Amino acid sequence: MEWSEVLSGTIITTQVAAARLIAALVAGAAIGLEREARRQTAGLRTHILICLGSTLLMLLSIWMPQTHMDLKNGDPGRIAAQVVSGIGFLGAGAFIKIGNNMKGLTTAASIWVAAALGLAVGAGLWIPAFLALILSLVVLIFLEPVERRFFPSERFKLLQIWYDGTGMDRAAVFSLLKSREIPIQSVDAYQSVRGKRTRLNLLVKIPVHADLESLFADIRKTGKVLKVQLQEKY
């Protein structure tokens, strides 16, 4: 079978299915690598499996009416519709609740896009799938610094502080952040089962030109601080 037939063929053969599955692996890996680099809850393997699974289901949707004559009037879009609705459960798993806010919206959206890419590749829509992949990577890789540059006031970050035992002084931390004009959006505190560690999670707005080293040094003076960490909220 010629490559042109493999790429543009409407009949699902072994070669056509293999080519589309390999393309789905590459597309899922491209998005997964970006999420993995940012240490998100859904990374390389998750996005590859989502894209592969969506492609396989789309291939199955097309193959069944072609193979079983009594199903020739079947709807190839029926299984695809179930993928679109079902992928929401995986997306929900990417969320992390921090007070009244959610962390992981971008990762959940990337999961949804990976499923859509898989369906498009499975249907043989090569050019739309390729363009969607490129545009998705542009959004994930290049727009984040643009957001940080032009909308700094809207960029929330997760400030995590680990304390030894129960040696946490919330009032001192709140007072410190207030003095540095760092607004607090939400607060959560977690204590280990045996009470050996306490973690304070603060969703805050960090000024663009904030002196983080000085901030961390002052935070360490608020109690028995074991670790201070500042993460981007994606």
For residue 199, what are the domain limits? 153-232
Please tell me whether residues 34 and 107 are part of one structural domain: yes
Tell me, what's the pLDDT at 133?
94
| Per-residue pLDDT at 100 | 45
CATH of the domain at 225: 3.30.70.260
Determine contact, residues 77/61, Cβ cutoff 8 Å. Answer: yes
Q: Do residues 112 and 26 both lie within one domain?
A: yes
Q: Looking at 117, 150, 183, which one is the last position of a domain?
A: 150
Which pLDDT value is given to residue 16? 87
Mean pLDDT by 10 residues, the chain (234 residues): 63 85 94 86 87 91 74 66 77 58 75 92 91 93 80 72 80 88 84 76 81 87 86 65
Same domain assignment for residues 83 and 159: no
Q: Are residues 127 and 68 in the same domain?
A: yes
Are 139 and 162 in the same domain?
no
| Total tally of structural domains belonging to the chain | 2
- Tell me the pTM: 0.61
- Same structural domain, 103 and 179: no
84 and 32 share one domain = yes
d(CA 118, CA 112): 10
pLDDT given for residue 146 in this prediction: 81
| 131, 168: one domain | no
What pLDDT, on the 0 to 100 scale, is given for residue 233? Answer: 61
pLDDT at 120: 92
